[in-house]
Amino acid sequence: MVTSIGNTGAKCVISDNATIASGTYAWYLLCEKPKRSWPLSWLVKTINVFAKILGKKAYKTDMVWSLDTIITSLTDWQNLQKAIGVWEKASTLLYLHIWNEWGTSNLFAFYPTYATPTTLAQNTGHISDYSEEIDANEVKIKIKFSQVHKKA
């Protein structure tokens, strides 16, 4: 059974399962404007094999999402601390889900894969740059969600 953190009506969710309701924790972020930074640069990898240089072209699809949210409940804050501890201890690959008013599809947490650019893959990664600002009745949180490609 999943432990939901925050307002389940939020349109931005970080969870430990691709299906939000099937994971251990699901963090619903009340973030007004998630921001994605996506360098979109080409990489050329060179490999030295038996004194021959082989070049392989690759596309850098790594991206970082900047997310801000507010926690207004002590229980949610405590559950978030537990979730972060569990995820960190297990080096859990997290799933990012982002919706807007275009519909119910999770359009924004997907990216084109290099091998098959017309196929979209779900954004997976880890939380980084976690910071809190503590007010009287809420905690303002800023994080970065850094993409990590799933290994097949």
pLDDT in tens, 102-147: 877 787 888 777 677 788 888 899 999 999 999 999 999 999 999 8
Phi, psi angles (nearest 5°) of residue 144: -120, 140
Percentage of the chain modeled with pLDDT above 70:
82
Quote the CA–CA distance of 59 and 137 in Å, as a whole number: 45
The pLDDT score that the predictor gives to residue 151 is 46
Task: Work out whether the CA dihedral 122, 117, 61, 132 comes out positive or negative.
Answer: negative
71: helix, strand or coil: strand
The pLDDT score that the predictor gives to residue 51 is 58
Q: Yes or no: say if 19 and 97 are a contact pair by the CB < 8 Å rule.
A: no
Quote the CA–CA distance of 68 and 66 in Å, as a whole number: 7
The pLDDT score that the predictor gives to residue 42 is 56
The CATH topology of domain 3-147 is Elongation Factor Tu (Ef-tu); domain 3 (2.40.30)
Summarised one tens digit per residue, pLDDT across range 19-37 is 999 999 999 998 878 888 8
